[in-house]
Amino acid sequence: MDLVAGKLMSEAVPLFLAPMAGVTDLAYRLLATECGADYTLTEFTAASGLSRKEAKSWLKMESHPMESTFIPQIFGGDKEEMVTTVEMLQDRADIIDINFGCPAPKVCKNNAGAALLRDPDKVVNLVRSCIDASNVPVTVKMRLGTGGIPNTALEITKRLESEGVMRVCVHGRTLKQRYSGEADWKSIREIVESVSIPVIANGDVVDSESAQMCLQSTGASGLMIGRAAIGRPMIFYDIKKNMGWIDNDPPWSVDNPVIARRWCWQRYLELCSEVYPSGGSKNSKRHAISFTKGLPGASAMRVDLHRAKNHEDLGEMVTSYLEQLVDKLAH
């Protein structure tokens, strides 16, 4: 990797928006795609709810013709529930992703998510059953291991390659770490060099410089970005531009973070009106907070959000706040 004409240079790889509860709703996935994400995943959703046809769970599985590649992510430890869910999703999904990376206690206590990494045999058997039931490709997202025993991700990835998994994404932390400490990119490289299927690196990619370092350290076939993309979907454009992978101007026209956030927020509202019958997402308030985080006067503005009576009020309050910031920049 080199620095050419002020740009970080490396071979272009796909960028993924990580599946995140309360974040990666349909409108936000479409927004991230417009900002440069190559692939996006739904909020991770329990197979227990989907297999029982619970309406709340299926709301997370919404897609739209504008979504070119629909990738639902599911989790669970019960093989029958997982297979049933795969069978229910396969006619609408382009790819089905299985989560073995979630560290949330409420998920792990039910022997799902990252907790399953303590039992490679169960992971492999579960994924094998899902592959056998599916007529679309199956991918897997995992952590390095549980942290209480030697890491199992390398063994599991090798075995999943033999089972026919299309690709794996590895978060360079253990279950025990959750989101503390640093991502272990060296361990991801060991996995990359041990298999032929694509391995996507996840963890601590927060800007163009860290993207370059992650690719250099891991040799991964792509990067998945999670927390750094919350309220900042423009990170995908920024990485591609600064890495020299694209040379087009951004949708927001001006290289200014406040103007970029204003454009992204307004576009998110437009997408909500296009894809949701109610005109708003269940995650709108969370996104409103994320889009304004760290900006001048944002704390006071967020207090005012509690007065919003509906999606329209919420949208107008945040839009007005961002417009005022942009006006201040112009004077």
* pLDDT tens per residue across span 189-202: 999 999 999 999 99
Burial class of residue 176 (count of CB atoms within 10 Å of its CB; 0-12, 13-18, 19+) = middle
In angstroms, what CA-CA distances link 328 with 222, 249, 324?
39, 23, 6
pTM of the model: 0.94
- The predicted pLDDT at position 8 comes to 65
Q: b/e string for 114-132 if b means 16 or more Cβ within 10 A?
A: bbbbbbbeebbebbbbbbe
CB 103 within 8 A of CB 143: yes
**Interval 35-55 mean pLDDT:** 96
User: Which residues make Cβ contacts (< 8 Å) with residue 145, sequence separation at least 6?
Assistant: 117, 118, 151, 152, 153, 174, 175
CB 114 within 8 A of CB 101: yes
Q: β-strand 7-9 against 2-4: which pairing, if any?
A: antiparallel
**Catalytic residue selected from 102, 108, 214, 264:** 102
* pLDDT tens per residue across span 274-314: 999 877 788 999 999 999 998 998 888 888 888 888 888 89
Question: How far is residue 95's CA from residue 90's CA, in Å, rounded to a whole number?
Answer: 8
Q: Please report which confidence band the pLDDT of residue 137 belongs to, taking 50, 70 and 90 as the band edges.
A: very high
Mean pLDDT of the chain, nearest integer? 92
* pLDDT tens per residue across span 214-270: 999 999 999 999 999 999 999 999 999 999 999 999 999 888 889 999 999 999 999
Among the listed residues 306, 327, 308, 328, the one whose alpha carbon sits nearest the alpha carbon of residue 316 = 308
Torsion region of 178: left, alpha or beta (phi above 0 gives left; psi -120 to 50 gives alpha): left
Residue 127 has pLDDT above 90, yes or no: yes
Angle between helices 311-330 and 257-275 (to 10 degrees): 160
CB 122 within 8 A of CB 82: no
In angstroms, what CA-CA distances link 289 with 94, 255, 286?
32, 22, 5
- The predicted pLDDT at position 4 comes to 46
| C-alpha of 251 from chain center | 21
* pLDDT tens per residue across span 142-190: 999 999 778 999 999 999 999 999 999 999 999 888 888 999 999 999 9
Q: Is 102 an annotated catalytic residue?
A: yes
Residue 100 has pLDDT above 90, yes or no: yes
Q: Report the DSSP beta bridge partners of residue 117.
A: none
Question: How far is residue 262's CA from residue 280's CA, in Å, rounded to a whole number?
Answer: 17
Q: What percent of the chain has pLDDT over 70?
A: 97
- The predicted pLDDT at position 44 comes to 93
Question: How far is residue 221's CA from residue 149's CA, in Å, rounded to a whole number?
Answer: 27
- The predicted pLDDT at position 5 comes to 46
Question: How far is residue 168's CA from residue 256's CA, in Å, rounded to a whole number?
Answer: 35
